[in-house]
């Protein structure tokens, strides 16, 4: 098979990266996709950077063994902890992370340069967003907050209702209280969070834009493929994404449907061991 006809590999710790896959499939409908959710090891966001790096390298290896032409790290935690290691190990492939496109989308959306980032504990602790935004806009004021409970809510398929509202108020009220100098952008620095965006927008009101990186990730991937002559030949029929999970395929299908935006049956998801 010629390289341009190969699939694109995408991975996350669980169903969160399906928010990215959805944007990728919309932007690049001719491409074929293999998605891996490392549900056996989820969450990544509470683990050390060393552990996340080990998990990410193994998840990527499994995708690379299946023959892919590009890799999308649809997980902020893995992008923050492992992107250089992934790029070194898989130097023959374009490896696209979500942190830089997310930072660029936040900078573009902010009028005041005051940007709030919510992410997992590991992403916040590593400071990747603070660095990525400062590289684009050195005078930006960036605050970041770990909202790990949002990962659990999203994995449970709880994307609205009292529990989500209570968690959103608990995390965000202090930041956005009454201060006129509050951030004008809330960047969703975790791929599990876009399904919570309607509730977050409801809690924050119209003075704050809730920004999700997935469209920017799709543009970055598109550019990388075009530069290397790796875009699927036009007219090439992209097949339905192949979905892999390392545990709980029925659960993955049930909850993943919300993230992907269409129904999924358990037989659409294959169990793999890493």
How many residues touch ligand DGL under the rule CB under 6 A: the total is: 17
Maximum Cα–Cα distance for the chain, whole Å? 59
Is residue 123 near ligand DGL by the rule CB under 6 A? yes
Decide whether 188 or 230 has the Cβ nearer to ligand DGL. 188
Selecting among 20, 34, 56, 75, the annotated active-site residue is 75
Tell which one of 33, 44, 252, 259 touches ligand DGL (CB under 6 A).
Answer: 44
Q: For residue 212, give the DSSP letter.
A: E
Is residue 248 near ligand DGL by the rule CB under 6 A? no
Is residue 19 near ligand DGL by the rule CB under 6 A? no
Query: Which of left, alpha, beta for 236 (phi over 0: left; psi -120 to 50: alpha)?
Result: beta
Selecting among 21, 172, 185, 190, the annotated active-site residue is 190
**Tokens read off for 76:** 């902020």
Tell which one of 9, 37, 43, 194 touches ligand DGL (CB under 6 A).
Answer: 43
Rounded to whole angstroms, the Cα distance separating 83 from 76 reads 10
Is residue 101 near ligand DGL by the rule CB under 6 A? no
Question: Are 65 and 34 a contacting pair, CB within 8 Å?
Answer: no
* Window of 10-18, 84-92, 105-113, 170-178 that interacts with ligand DGL by CB under 6 A: 10-18
Strand order in the sheet with 242-245: 95-96, 68-73, 7-12, 33-37, 242-245, 269-271
Question: Are 93 and 73 a contacting pair, CB within 8 Å?
Answer: no
Decide whether 33 or 129 has the Cβ nearer to ligand DGL. 129
Residue number, nearest CB to ligand DGL: 45
Question: Are 19 and 194 a contacting pair, CB within 8 Å?
Answer: yes
Is residue 120 near ligand DGL by the rule CB under 6 A? yes
Task: Return the SS3 of 10.
Answer: strand
Binding marks (x or -) toward ligand DGL, 173..212, rule CB under 6 A? -----------------xxx--------------------
Is 222 an active-site residue? Answer: no
Buried b or exposed e, range 222-244, using 16+ CB within 10 angstroms? bebbeeeebbbeeeeeeeebbbb
CA 238 vs. chain centroid, Å, equals: 22
Decide whether 6 or 120 has the Cβ nearer to ligand DGL. 120
Is 190 an active-site residue? Answer: yes
Q: What residues make contact with ligand DGL under the rule CB under 6 A?
A: 12-14, 16, 42-45, 75-77, 120, 123, 151, 190-192
Which residues are known to be catalytic?
A: 75, 190
């Amino acid at each position: 098979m010629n390289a341009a006809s190969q699939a694109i590999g995408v991975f996350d710790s669980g169903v969160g990266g399906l928010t990215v896959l959805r944007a990728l499939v919309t932007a690049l409908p001719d491409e074929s996709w293999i998605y891996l959710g490392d549900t056996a090891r989820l969450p990544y966001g509470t683990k050390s950077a060393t552990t996340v790096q080990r998990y990410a390298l193994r998840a990527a290896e499994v995708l690379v063994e299946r023959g892919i032409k590009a890799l999308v790290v649809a997980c902020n935690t893995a992008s923050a902890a492992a992107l250089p290691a992934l790029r070194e190990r898989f130097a023959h492939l374009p490896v696209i992370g979500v942190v830089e496109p997310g930072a660029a989308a936040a900078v573009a959306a902010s009028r005041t340069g005051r940007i709030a980032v919510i992410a997992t504990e590991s992403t916040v602790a590593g400071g990747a967003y603070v660095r990525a935004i400062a590289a684009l806009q050195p005078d930006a004021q960036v605050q970041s907050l770990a909202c790990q409970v949002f990962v659990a809510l999203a994995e449970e398929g709880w994307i609205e209702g009292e529990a989500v509202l209570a968690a959103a108020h608990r995390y965000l009220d202090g930041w956005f209280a009454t201060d006129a100098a509050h951030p004008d952008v809330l960047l969703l620095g975790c791929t599990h969070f876009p399904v919570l965006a309607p509730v977050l927008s409801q809690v924050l009101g119209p003075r704050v834009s809730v920004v999700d990186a997935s469209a920017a990730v799709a543009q970055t991937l598109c550019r990388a493929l075009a530069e290397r002559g790796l875009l699927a030949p036009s007219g090439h029929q992209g097949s339905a994404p192949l979905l892999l999970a390392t545990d709980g395929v029925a659960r993955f299908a049930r909850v993943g449907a919300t993230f992907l935006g269409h129904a999924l049956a358990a037989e659409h998801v294959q169990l793999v061991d890493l």
